[in-house]
């Protein structure tokens, strides 16, 4: 099977070495399943994939093993069968390991310059969490300038088993939304997800900041929905969302009944002040 360019060749038209620093590389099977499910059902992501002349997706910093990149490709191809997925890593050994797996996904050296590619979607999960907070905005900007028209970025963080996740969706103009997602059986309260907030928000989870207010409101609504717990934590989570909407919070409504606990709000709801 053709694995694309040789290890020391760029896959696109970028010049020079990849931009960025190696991450710890921790990964695991199905670790990013919650964000994958969200991407597949997100109207804005589906539209970007379905209307793109060339549906190219980049998985940036996939880690020591390519498993989550291969899983992403499989799931996105349920939306559009001809989606091309390229995994980029700054560590040559990780690229070599991924190519040796002989999958239907391409792998190459690359960082925030995206190896000269122009994707319609970039996933950077558990990447910027390992960078200094003052570098986040510049990294977002660098990625956004390399998007295809109508392109999107998902910058997220999760725990080792993928039970607690948070991510920001961005377009070329900046952040669009924040999503908190979890296994409702694996939390005591919604604010348990605070430890997995994206780098741009985690230091703002203090009184007076919008993200703190959102988590506090979610905890109150969760406590108020305790009576629904007899039907299971998923039902309790949905009752919590209904309460938050009744309070006037712009919580995104899903057309499907989700197995995950998901809370998505527009970025202005949580943007630091």
HSE value, Cβ hemisphere, 13 Å, CA-based, for 14: 22
Of 10, 1, 27, nearest to 109 by C-alpha is: 10
What's the average model confidence in pLDDT over 182-203? Answer: 96
For residues 205 and 17, the model is more confident at: 205
Distances (CA, A) of 225 to 163, 221, 261: 21, 6, 14
What's the average model confidence in pLDDT over 181-201? Answer: 96
Q: Is the pLDDT of residue 1 over 70?
A: no
**Average pLDDT along the chain:** 92
Structure tokens at 161: 């088993």
φ/ψ of 160, rounded to 5, equals -65, -25
Q: Is the pLDDT of residue 4 over 60?
A: no
Spatial separation of the C-alpha atoms in residues 143 and 151, rounded to whole Å: 10
What's the average model confidence in pLDDT over 227-248? Answer: 97
Q: Which residues pair with 171 in a beta bridge?
A: 152, 174
φ/ψ of 142, rounded to 5, equals -60, -45
Spatial separation of the C-alpha atoms in residues 231 and 138, rounded to whole Å: 45
pLDDT band at 24 (very low <50, low <70, confident <90, very high): low
φ/ψ of 149, rounded to 5, equals -55, 130
- Model-level pTM? 0.91
What's the average model confidence in pLDDT over 144-173? Answer: 97
> What pLDDT, on a 0 to 100 scale, did the predictor assign at position 8?
41
Q: Is the pLDDT of residue 15 over 90?
A: no
Each domain of the chain, given as residue ranges in start order, spans 33-197+256-268
pLDDT one-digit tens code per residue, 47-76 = 999 999 999 999 999 999 999 999 999 999
- Helical residues (DSSP H) of 85-209, grouped into ranges: 92-100, 136-144, 199-202
> What pLDDT, on a 0 to 100 scale, did the predictor assign at position 7?
39
Of 269, 206, 261, nearest to 238 by C-alpha is: 261
> What pLDDT, on a 0 to 100 scale, did the predictor assign at position 241?
97
Q: How far is C-alpha 46 from the chain's CA centre? A: 15
User: How many residues appear in the chain?
Assistant: 273
pLDDT band at 173 (very low <50, low <70, confident <90, very high): very high
pLDDT one-digit tens code per residue, 101-147 = 888 999 999 999 999 999 999 999 999 988 889 899 999 999 999 99
φ/ψ of 28, rounded to 5, equals 180, 155
> What pLDDT, on a 0 to 100 scale, did the predictor assign at position 259?
77
106-109: strand order across its sheet: 106-109, 84-89, 56-60, 121-125, 152-158, 164-171, 174-182, 261-266
pLDDT band at 77 (very low <50, low <70, confident <90, very high): very high
What's the average model confidence in pLDDT over 71-83? Answer: 98
> What pLDDT, on a 0 to 100 scale, did the predictor assign at position 18?
83
The CATH number of the domain covering residues in 33-197+256-268: 3.40.50
């Amino acid at each position: 099977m053709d694995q694309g360019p040789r290890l020391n060749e760029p896959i696109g038209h970028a010049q020079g070495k990849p931009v960025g620093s190696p991450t710890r590389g921790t990964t695991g099977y199905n670790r990013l399943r919650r964000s994958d499910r969200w991407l597949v059902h997100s109207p804005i992501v589906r539209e970007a994939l379905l209307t793109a002349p060339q549906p190219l997706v980049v998985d940036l910093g996939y880690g020591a093993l390519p498993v989550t990149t291969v899983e992403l490709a499989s799931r996105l191809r349920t939306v559009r069968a001809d989606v091309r997925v390229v995994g980029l890593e700054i560590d040559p050994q990780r690229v070599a390991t991924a190519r040796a797996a002989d999958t239907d996904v391409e792998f190459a050296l690359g960082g925030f310059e995206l190896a000269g590619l122009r994707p319609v979607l970039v996933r950077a999960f558990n990447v910027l969490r390992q960078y200094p907070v003052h570098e986040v905005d510049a990294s977002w900007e660098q990625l956004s300038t390399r998007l295809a028209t109508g392109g999107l970025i998902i910058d997220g963080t999760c725990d080792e088993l993928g039970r607690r996740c948070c991510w920001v969706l961005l377009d070329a103009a900046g952040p669009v939304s924040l999503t908190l997602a979890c296994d409702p059986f694996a939390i005591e309260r919604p604010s348990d997800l605070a430890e997995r907030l994206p780098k741009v928000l985690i230091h703002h989870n203090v009184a007076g900041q919008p993200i703190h207010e959102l988590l506090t409101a979610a905890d109150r609504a969760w406590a108020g929905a305790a009576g629904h717990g007899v039907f299971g934590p998923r039902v309790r989570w949905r009752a919590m969302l209904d309460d938050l909407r009744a309070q006037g919070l712009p919580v995104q409504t899903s057309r499907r009944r989700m197995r995950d606990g998901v809370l998505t709000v527009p970025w202005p709801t949580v943007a630091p002040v």
